Amino acid sequence: WVVDPAKWPAGLDPLIAHVRGLGMEFGLWVEPEMISPDSELFRAHPDWGLVDPHHDPVRARHQLVLDLTNPGAFEHIRQSLCSL
């Protein structure tokens, strides 16, 4: 999940403040372990998909599962979540 600076130039802080001002808690659901084969991330790092050399790639809802044992994939997810 990436905040689009064109749509949210101040980040999510104004939205979070508005939601809290309404007396609610703000939450954001993300699914960082999944990757679309049609995404820029997958095109840049096809080796980050979880695979078994004896079977087809593991897919769920037309997505691949990221191999979080791969240090590059893990660090990408860690940085992405920390930047939210």
Q: pLDDT tens-digit profile of 35-79?
A: 898 899 999 999 998 877 787 766 667 888 899 999 999 999 999
From residue 46, how far is each of 53, 62, 72 by CA, in Å? 14, 15, 12
Q: Are 49 and 41 in contact (CB under 8 A)?
A: no
Among candidate residues 39, 40, 38, 42, the one with its CA nearest the CA of residue 66: 42
Residue 19 vs residue 81, higher pLDDT: 19
- Cα dihedral 29, 35, 36, 38 in deg (nearest 10): 130
Q: Determine the pLDDT at residue 83.
A: 84
Q: pLDDT tens-digit profile of 5-23?
A: 999 999 999 999 999 999 9
Q: Determine the pLDDT at residue 58.
A: 64
